[in-house]
Amino acid sequence: MDISGNTIFIPGATSGIGLALAQRLRARGNTVIIGGRRTELLRRLAAEHGFDTVSIDTADAESIRAAAAEVLRAHPDLNVVIAMAGIMRVEDWHHADGFLASAEEVVTTNLLGPIRLVAAFVEHLRTRPRATIVTVSSGLAFAPLKATPSYNASKAAIHMLSESLRLQLADTSVQVIELEPPSVRTALLPGQQDSEFAMPLDEFADEVISLFEAQPDAKEIQVENVKFLRYGEARGDYDQVVATLNAADPHGR
Question: What structural domains does the chain harbor?
Answer: 7-248 (3.40.50.720)
Q: Which of 51, 142, 151, 212 is catalytic?
A: 151
Q: Are 189 and 243 in contact (CB under 8 A)?
A: no
- Residue 121: which of 64, 60, 53 has the closest Cα? 64
pLDDT of the residue at 98 = 79
Average pLDDT over residues 212-219: 97
pLDDT of the residue at 249 = 60
pLDDT of the residue at 191 = 86
pLDDT of the residue at 252 = 43
Q: What are the tens digits of pLDDT across the range 79-111?
A: 999 999 899 999 999 988 879 999 999 999 999
For the chain, what is the mean pLDDT?
95
pLDDT of the residue at 25 = 98
**pLDDT(151) > 70:** yes
pLDDT of the residue at 113 = 97
**pLDDT(250) > 80:** no
Q: What are the tens digits of pLDDT across the range 187-211?
A: 899 888 888 889 999 999 999 999 9
Q: What are the tens digits of pLDDT across the range 232-248?
A: 999 999 999 999 999 97
pLDDT of the residue at 51 = 95
pLDDT of the residue at 85 = 83
Please indicate whether residue 238 is annotated as part of the active site.
Answer: no
What whole-number distance in Å separates Cα of residue 72 and Cα of residue 68?
6
The 174-179 sheet, strands edge to edge: 52-55, 31-36, 7-11, 80-82, 131-136, 174-179, 220-221
Which pLDDT band, with edges at 50, 70 and 90, does 253 fall under?
very low
Average pLDDT over residues 29-50: 95
Burial class (CB in 10 A: 0-12, 13-18, 19+), 167: exposed
- What is Dmax (Cα atoms) for the chain? 51
Q: What are the tens digits of pLDDT across the range 168-181?
A: 999 999 999 999 99
pLDDT of the residue at 168 = 98
Listing DSSP states for 84-146 in one string gives ---------TTSGGGTHHHHHHHHIIIIIHHHHHHHHHHHHHTTSTTEEEEEE--GGGTS--T
Estimate to the nearest angstrom the gap between the alpha carbon of 196 and the chain centroid: 22
Pairing state between β 131-136 and 80-82: parallel
